[in-house]
Structure 1
Amino acid sequence: MTKEQWYFINTKSHDAAYNMAFDECLLRWHSEGTIPPALRFYTWTPSAMSVGYFQKVEGKIHTENVRQHGFDFVRRLTGGRAVLHDHELTYSVVVSEKHPKMPKTVTEAYRVITNGLLEGYRNLDIEADLAVPEGKLQQTGSAVCFDEPSWYELVIGDKKAAGSAQTRKQGVILQHGSVPISMDDDVLFDLFAYPSDEVRERAKSKFKEKATTMEEYLGRKLSLEEVEEAFYKGFEKGLDIELVPFELTAEQEQEVQTLAKEKYSSDEWNFSLNKKGVK
């Protein structure tokens, strides 16, 4: 039986505004019927902090330290909390809400898509799993993505290993997420606002008990190419699809560039909570 074909594009490394504009354009193109469901891999140059659509920046994010580290800053179209995109593989998926494989609820659709991540980890001989918290989730109020529990999060042992977020607009699901290869906790916690160094160190210590990375688990270095291959095959198996290459037209590339400049590079979008969503 022939498997369903999804588009695949690896856009390699771009700045934060371009990366977020590209994901929004994928959502729009799929809603218009221009492209089928799609999977995208990408990385960030320079490294960047992204915050969730509804996330407060003032009093939560140390924006001056973000700048001093030379990092980009951008607000995502999806929800969730702040993520430092550094030594990682980032993925995005766009698929219709009406796709026969997609459950109606956000959490169940998240579970289906995250199967691709699960198989990717297993391709690297990492025993990862999808966690289902017992009872009601206990929200800590932390601004740090990997510090918060969520339904069907990807865990290695009892530690969170990947952070994903999802939105639904124009009849399309957009899910994207961070798959850390390694993580510098000292740099990460330098980017958040705390009332004192003591509170910061306490939060960092607790964080180390909650989160892990692929290199930490394996005890060896991983190349980006090795990770990309593992998760490419993982998504094909986990979603039972065949990935086929996708290249943008000149007009599509210009659309991404324009949206990056006009929306995701603007202070109005990145620092204001009063946003209008997809243009």
Structure 2
Amino acid sequence: MKVLIIGSEGMLGHDLVDVLSEENEISTTTIDTLDITEIKKTIKTVKDINPDVVVHAAAFTDVDGSESHEDLAYKVNVIGTRNVAVACREADAALVYICTDYVFDGTKGTAYREYDQVNPLSVYGKTKYLGEVCVKEILNKFYIARTSWLYGFHGPNFVTTMLKLAENYDSINVVGDQIGSPTYTVDLAKAIAELIKKPIYGTYHLTNSEHCSWHEYAQLIFENAGIEIELKPVTTEEFGSAAARPKYSVLENYNWKMEGFPPIRSYKEALKDYMKLL
């Protein structure tokens, strides 16, 4: 297939290029070659490339920064996504829209399935959900891929942040009351590569299996790295951040399972493989 990856310079974008190019003809755009907030240019770019599938991995992803830059977050995550969806309609291309666990408020207490009620707490979560709304209103051929706690080689992430902090501090405070599923961008890219082989359109939760708190995640990172450091679990309130975050945002990969795909491997196994290559 011909696949266009929008946002190929990002952490996930890099791995999408590597993984999808194994079986598909790939075209890419970056923030420098396509401003998705410009509808005419977005439509022209997509129509000129004429892909079978567009993977929309461009977003304003600064969760706390979105609180103080609401207009920018809205412009990129909502208007930009609408523009990409319109361009896909014009080119008769299917769209993969990358979304987030932050569309949920975290009060369910068990893993969220794709059909559970959304209730985003932050500007970031709200704008990403409104992007979903645009996709559903404009297109019939789409895959909404909600994921969580991403890490990979081509961008800053929790793993590299922890390792950097350990270079300068003997003790680190880490939030202990937010639970989620750390997800390796390579594994997410592989799942997307499988999804787009079939016209099984709809919303999918795509994360590594199992879950943990940020504190437990940090413990495993340092265990894998062979670093001894004091990790102090703190509450979300004690830690303090501009944006509200869901306390329990584990995503059950329910639709993925119902389509007969094998479980995506544990975050523990994925993290170990990732850290071997750091």
- TM band (smaller chain): under 0.3
Write 1 or 2 for the structure with the bigger share of helix: 2
Write 1 or 2 for the structure with the bigger share of strand: 1
TM-score when normalising by structure 2: 0.25
TM-score when normalising by structure 1: 0.24
